Structure 1
Amino acid sequence: MTCRYRCGDACFHEVPNTSDNEYVGDVIARALSRRSVLRAGAVVGATVAAGAALGGGPGATPAAAAPAAEAAKHGGRHGKPAKGLRFTPVEPNTTDRVTVPEGYAQGVVIRWGEPILRGAPEFDPAKQSAKAQAGQFGYNNDFLMLMPLDPGHGRSEHGRQLLVANHEYTNEELMFAGYDPKKPTREQVEIAWAAHGLSVVAVEEKRTSGALTPVRRHHLNRRITATTPFRVTGPVAGSELLRTKADPSGRKVLGTLNNCAGGTTPWGTILSGEENFNQYFANAEKVTDPGRAKTLKRYGLSGGASERQWEKYDERFDVAEEPNEPHRFGWVVEIDPYDPHSTPRKHTALGRFKHEAAQARLTPDGRAVVYMGDDERFDYFYKFVSKKKMMRGHSAASREHNMSLLDEGTLYVAKLTGDSPESEIDGTGKLPEDGEFDGRGEWIPLASGDKSFVPGMTAEEVYVFTRLAGDKVGATKMDRPEDVEPSPRTGRVYVALTNNTDRGKDGKAGPDEANPRKGNKHGQVLELAEHGDDGRSTRFRWRLFLVCGDPEDPGTYFGGFPKDQVSPISCPDNVTFDPYGNLWISTDGNELGSHDGLFGVATEGKRRGQVRQFLTVPTGAETCGPLVQERRVLVAVQHPGEVDGASVEKPASTWPDGPGTYVRPSVVAVWPKDGGRVGA
């Protein structure tokens, strides 16, 4: 069910990237043939350089494994865990609830269907309508952010903050009693349209705990759906590639789809990534033009009717009728949470692909840099550097200027080169002789404004068909790059690579130093440092921070930390940072027999690499969000009960309200019972 509804069975279809890019291993092999005699000295130099650039020493040989979950409860010979991670780790489990550490309390902040706009009714699944859903909290919450109600002073008023949540997709079989997937009704389809998108809702803190409650009918509350008008901005606005019968201008798009993770901007807005948009479009098989068919296939559009069959009720989802409509999705969108009447934007300068997320930072001279992953097997990760600089202040003029920063700049794609011989990357995850999977990388420019750097492609084509541009310049094929986040403390950038079970299969890319395992079902986390900690640099050093899986598996790696003192982790997805600089990782698709969860890991010091599990989510659910503050943790519990064969009548989960109720995606807050700081 997860595969069908979230990504349109992406992993069961042919890999969209069939390009013959050089693999990292091929590049390494040629380089090593010229320097094998000098390798010993070169490795020492490279390791020292990496340690200086990435802020840590070379990885230690993993300690002999012991029962990891038991040992992880204690500091071991390394003493106390890092500040922010001082809690008793949750054991892997399959219980149908949110499980949190001893000494912590939890509470649901808001559920699917709760009214947030004036006039919206209470949730009643037997009387649900599209109009009602458009005023209620959406389905399958993913990205979460809390914003101060007063952006000018960066503080909350009267204990209130503004919660922003993405709504990635819908599970119709868990939303509608008696749902017939072969014959969805117009009402069901229109409810699903209204359940997609984003929600903005004020929340109020309880003085005696870390609990949050929604403030219904607050003047800043807002719903953005699959039919909300969006303004197209940047170099492709008005392009023939975006024009449709309904929008001959190519500048106005209805709705946003499959909004996965996101990020914030230094000027106080929200970025949201449109991810698996391909699944909503039907009848790609009817497209006969070879060029158009090629681009559709590269983006995963194939076959006849779509899973949800939206094309029956709106022809824009029928590729045969509106061949350019898919080009209007797959972008990073920006919303102003402080103006519920503003028109959200789709930023074409950031390229079109399956955006997992987008997180912005500033260069020392004030330019915006956004890092982005393309969530597909063997696809790439990117960054964008703005041409203009951010204006300080909170005037209307400065806000409008800053919201245009992502409309003009340079789009890059990453190419990584390892520093170990190909023979040492054997596909098992065994560390090479230098003790780390690491190397160098470069950002290859693709386009800037109306200038293309890709032979044979115009700038417009680069932005609309960014994947093909990455193919042409030989970007490195990665194992599903999802969330990409820079550390606000160190500037190092972390990339969650969720998994890729096709790695090493016949006719597919084999293992390389950045993706070192065949049949990679557990994923890894990559860490990179740009030269001079300046987002404008086109050079970087990289290394694998985590190679995930069972700590007792010799093919795993935890930053060099002893593996008998870490929690097992599988399939990293979203990442964030706590106030102490620790990386927190939510998982999606745990392949170790436990429910998905949230994990904290130190990135610096002698405890670097010590993974500690903070919570697990209910049956069928994915851990999303997450947001780690000083006194609370927020997670989005997405698609609880999403198990094959489940339905309203036969639920696989009864979370959050117990038997006899609908299973409902919800936002959960967790806080220390004693009112103290999380993990401190």
Structure 2
Amino acid sequence: MTSARPENRPLLSLLPEGTRHGSRSHVTCFFRCGNACDQPEPNPTDNPHVRDEITKAVARRAVLRGGAAGAGALLVGSLVTEGGLAAAATSGPAARAAAAGGVLATDRFRPVGPNKRDAFTVPSGYRSSVVIKWGDPVVYGAPEFDPRKQSVKAAERQFGFNCDYVGVLPLGRSTALLVVNHEYTTEPHMFPAGTYTDDEIKRISMTNHGMSVVRIVRGATPGSWRQVKALRSCTENRRIHIRTAFRLTGPAAGDARLRTTADPTGKRVLGTLNNCAGGTTPWGTVLSGEENFNQYFDAGAGLSPDYAAQYARYGINGSGRGWGTVDPRFDLSQEPHEPHRFGWIVEVDPYDPTSTPVKHTMLGRFKHEGANIALSRSGHAVAYMGDDERGDYLYKFVSAGKVDRSGTAAAKRRNMTLLTKGTLFVAKLTGDGTEDGRFDGKGKWIPLCSDTESFVPGMSVADVLIFTRLAADKVGPTKMDRPEDVQPNPVNGRVYAALTNNSNRGSGAMPVDEANPLASSKVRASIGAPLTDASGNRNGYVLEMTPYNGSHTANSFTWDLFLVCGDPEAPETYFGGFDKSKVSPISCPDNVAFDRAGNLWISTDGNVLGSNDGVFRVPVAGPNRGQVQQFCTVPKGAEACGPLITDGDRSLFVAVQHPGEVSGATFETPASTWPHTDDFPRPAVVVSYRDR
């Protein structure tokens, strides 16, 4: 171990102050995704972008329309079935679903206005409280958190750093299990200067990645929750970290390209990295997506030429975190296969702390935002997924087996194998013309492989699953603008995808033309927009997909852009046809969720409209379809993650990730002190509920 105690600030001298992309600081861009937006677009193919398929309609629609399960129950998983499609109408089942919605689904509230407060802000009549924050004890025997006495042993028992996905699974009448991802670490905000060696910082940071399982209990006010502090009794509590063993499943498990010095079988991986969003399955487990895993691997003595094309397609360039100096598996010159063991969908059984979590190779390898399950009428599990990269794709997996609904322990074990066999698809979208004044069209799911057969010429099943991006490139899917969370709506059966943004739209790699109206001066001129704004898709979209004949197993669908986000006064924005003068501005949708009425809830990341990020409620049916209303804002420098509506629509859980992550801030000079329990910021999970 290095004996010197440096100032721990070498990175800060390399990171300019101010913002880098939109409202994101240089610090966020570096630590969260390794400055992904500054790298060449990893997808070099000439497959069309989604904007190329829908474009002329933006100008036309802007001109034509621009002005104007019982109460208290916790549900295991999103029990989405195909029968919900009937509820898309403005009356009948949709109206009944809306009436059945609880407080958060039906309450009229005054939307929270844009602000830059260092606070978690909710509407009048609501309140919020912190459930758990970075460093809080999770496992019995964990020490109380002290930023100057951090250690690997302590971090293995404490709540990890930045928190993203939030799941809540029922445990008893008044208790539940909270499952949270810990996506990444921001070292300048975690460690007091001169307190730790460089090697100590690396090892502690590595351990602060992963997941936490925590028992929570209802509070005195309906909708409120808190952590159970008597940890000795919380036998389910668990910290999953960089040394937790995972089992690889599916056709690619054991492949030679997944074998390393430490694991000659290619079936056992230590740890999970950069876990972003996720989903709760109908059988009571949690799915978690490994996203920007590429940034953790060092070049060492040099990159292997054997994987030059594969590394490039996944953005692996050897500019890592320096972890290779404390763990050789993160040195690509020593372990060139280690990156292939990340980028998967992870499944964890929160109810069994002794269980070995798995990484499902059958769901493909890419920068998974997450995975969410719908059940077909026939009982097949259908997982929807997005690859969070500029110019990458939407995916779907359909299981070969059918869900066992008997509810027994044996049934759960069988259901946990559903994601090991089936067929993996990628999406292609085409427009249907602009005469209707809408940007919509049709889509098809192109099969890539089953568990026994590859449908991509020249590639085996293992090739397709380990290098899914390269396989998808060959079949001509549609390049999307950062597809992140993709979730089926449990009420109307449609599927909603957050397309966060694409700040490079209009650059040489993504040229502006009439087919890309947010960057095309010609089209913008036709709708009276400023010619100087050629900044691409800065605010993002929400895509709505309707499976053919209401079947999630169908190979075709129709689609439309439900939201074109941004300032309501901007002519190109669109809010499901709702009056633009009566909506909240929204920018950079990231995660989505649904209440019992089927309303869409959206959390944002990277708001470029001059406000902190937040969470928004949006009806998807009826006369208020598209009415975006901001429910909360998160503190300065933070990202709103989750969200999750649960407990009979009485509770909104939000993970407040990286509060105070502003360029120039340090542990000693923070830009935020939220949640204001210390003189430095602590990422935390918050629950909001009616104040009564």
TM-score, normalised to structure 2's length?
Answer: 0.85
Change (3 A) 1:613 1:513: farther
Match of 2:82 in 1: none
Match of 2:528 in 1: none
Aligned: 1:354 with 2:367: yes
Match of 1:228 among 224, 227, 244: 244
Match of 2:599 in 1: 582
Match of 2:542 in 1: 525
Gaps of 5+ in 2: 1-26, 58-84, 91-102, 521-535
Q: Count residues with an aligned counterpart.
A: 606
Match of 2:32 in 1: 6
Match of 1:110 among 109, 132, 138: 132
Show the 5 A alignment for 1:582-661.
582-629=599-646, 630-657=649-676, 661=679
Contact 2:86 2:492 in 1 (8 A): no
| Cα distance in 1 between the residues matched to 2:435 and 2:567 | 22
Show the 5 A alignment for 1:506-545.
506-508=508-510, 519-545=536-562
Show the 5 A alignment for 1:151-162.
156-157=172-173, 159-162=174-177
| Cα distance in 2 between the residues matched to 1:26 and 1:575 | 25
Change (3 A) 1:184 1:357: farther
Give, in angstroms, the shift of residue 273 of structure 1.
0.2
Aligned: 1:440 with 2:455: no
Give, in angstroms, the shift of residue 82 of structure 1.
10
| Cα distance in 1 between the residues matched to 2:364 and 2:514 | 26
Change (3 A) 1:669 1:321: same
Give, in angstroms, the shift of residue 24 of structure 1.
5.8
Match of 1:451 in 2: 453
Partner of 1:593: helix, strand, or coil?
Answer: coil
| Cα distance in 1 between the residues matched to 2:254 and 2:514 | 41
* Cα deviation digits, residues 35-71 of structure 1 (max 9, x gap): xxxxxxxxxxxxxxxxx999469xxxxxxxxxxxxxx
Aligned: 1:273 with 2:273: no
* Cα deviation digits, residues 100-152 of structure 1 (max 9, x gap): 10011111111110001111011111111111111111111111011100xxx
* Cα deviation digits, residues 351-407 of structure 1 (max 9, x gap): 000000110111101110000000000000100000011112233321211100000
Change (3 A) 1:409 1:284: farther
| Cα distance in 2 between the residues matched to 1:509 and 1:17 | 15
* Cα deviation digits, residues 617-649 of structure 1 (max 9, x gap): 111100001111321211000000101111101
Gaps of 5+ in 1: 33-51, 58-80, 150-155, 421-431, 675-680
Contact 1:98 1:615 in 2 (8 A): yes
Percent identical among aligned pairs is 56
| Cα distance in 2 between the residues matched to 1:175 and 1:559 | 42
| Cα distance in 2 between the residues matched to 1:396 and 1:55 | 35
* Cα deviation digits, residues 385-443 of structure 1 (max 9, x gap): 000111122333212111000000000000000112xxxxxxxxxxx442211000000
| Cα distance in 1 between the residues matched to 2:680 and 2:130 | 15
Q: Which amino acid in structure 1 is aligned with residue 280 of structure 2?
A: T
Change (3 A) 1:82 1:531: farther
Contact 2:104 2:595 in 1 (8 A): no
Match of 1:237 in 2: 253
| Cα distance in 2 between the residues matched to 1:388 and 1:643 | 48
Aligned: 1:563 with 2:580: yes
Match of 2:507 in 1: 505
Show the 5 A alignment for 1:115-264.
115-149=137-171, 156-157=172-173, 159-178=174-193, 185-216=198-229, 217=231, 218-264=234-280
Give, in angstroms, the shift of residue 606 of structure 1.
0.8
Contact 1:85 1:612 in 2 (8 A): no
Match of 2:462 in 1: 460
Partner of 2:106: helix, strand, or coil?
Answer: coil
Match of 1:662 in 2: 680
| Cα distance in 2 between the residues matched to 1:206 and 1:302 | 48
Change (3 A) 1:512 1:391: farther
| Cα distance in 1 between the residues matched to 2:516 and 2:270 | 39
| Cα distance in 1 between the residues matched to 2:681 and 2:50 | 45
TM-score, normalised to structure 1's length?
Answer: 0.86
Match of 1:314 among 320, 324, 327: 327
Give, in angstroms, the shift of residue 504 of structure 1.
2.8
Give, in angstroms, the shift of residue 285 of structure 1.
8.6
Q: Which amino acid in structure 1 is aligned with residue 310 of structure 2?
A: T
| Cα distance in 1 between the residues matched to 2:513 and 2:88 | 27
Match of 2:311 in 1: 296
Partner of 1:295: helix, strand, or coil?
Answer: helix
Show the 5 A alignment for 1:361-376.
361-376=374-389
Q: Which amino acid in structure 2 is aligned with residue 118 of structure 1?
A: Y
Give, in angstroms, the shift of residue 253 of structure 1.
0.1
| Cα distance in 2 between the residues matched to 1:340 and 1:185 | 32
Give, in angstroms, the shift of residue 83 of structure 1.
5.0
Q: Which amino acid in structure 2 is aligned with residue 294 of structure 1?
A: A
Change (3 A) 1:184 1:547: farther
Change (3 A) 1:54 1:398: closer
Match of 1:677 in 2: none
* Cα deviation digits, residues 538-572 of structure 1 (max 9, x gap): 00000000000000000100001010000000000
Contact 1:84 1:578 in 2 (8 A): no
Q: Which amino acid in structure 2 is aligned with residue 545 of structure 1?
A: F
Greater Cα shift, 200-209 or 347-356: 200-209
* Cα deviation digits, residues 139-190 of structure 1 (max 9, x gap): 11111011100xxxxxx33x1111111110111111101169xx96222222
Change (3 A) 1:515 1:215: farther
Partner of 1:451: helix, strand, or coil?
Answer: coil
Greater Cα shift, 394-403 or 9-18: 394-403
| Cα distance in 2 between the residues matched to 1:242 and 1:486 | 32
Q: Which amino acid in structure 2 is aligned with residue 198 of structure 1?
A: M
Match of 2:489 in 1: 487
Match of 2:690 among 658, 665, 672: 672
RMSD between aligned residues: 2.2
Contact 2:485 2:497 in 1 (8 A): yes
- Larger relative contact order (C-alpha < 8 A, sep ≥ 6)? 2
Partner of 2:189: helix, strand, or coil?
Answer: helix
Give, in angstroms, the shift of residue 514 of structure 1.
9.4
Match of 2:17 in 1: none
| Cα distance in 1 between the residues matched to 2:577 and 2:637 | 32
Q: Which amino acid in structure 2 is aligned with residue 670 of structure 1?
A: S
Partner of 1:125: helix, strand, or coil?
Answer: coil
Greater Cα shift, 261-270 or 171-180: 171-180
| Cα distance in 1 between the residues matched to 2:440 and 2:494 | 14
Aligned: 1:415 with 2:432: no
Greater Cα shift, 502-511 or 551-560: 502-511
Aligned: 1:21 with 2:56: no
Contact 2:645 2:652 in 1 (8 A): yes
Partner of 2:476: helix, strand, or coil?
Answer: coil
Contact 1:275 1:330 in 2 (8 A): yes
| Cα distance in 2 between the residues matched to 1:209 and 1:556 | 37
| Cα distance in 2 between the residues matched to 1:514 and 1:670 | 39
* Cα deviation digits, residues 582-604 of structure 1 (max 9, x gap): 00000000000000000000000
Match of 1:74 in 2: none
Change (3 A) 1:344 1:509: farther
Aligned: 1:474 with 2:476: yes
| Cα distance in 2 between the residues matched to 1:266 and 1:54 | 21
Partner of 1:126: helix, strand, or coil?
Answer: coil
Q: Which amino acid in structure 2 is aligned with residue 126 of structure 1?
A: R
Give, in angstroms, the shift of residue 662 of structure 1.
2.2
Match of 2:111 in 1: 89
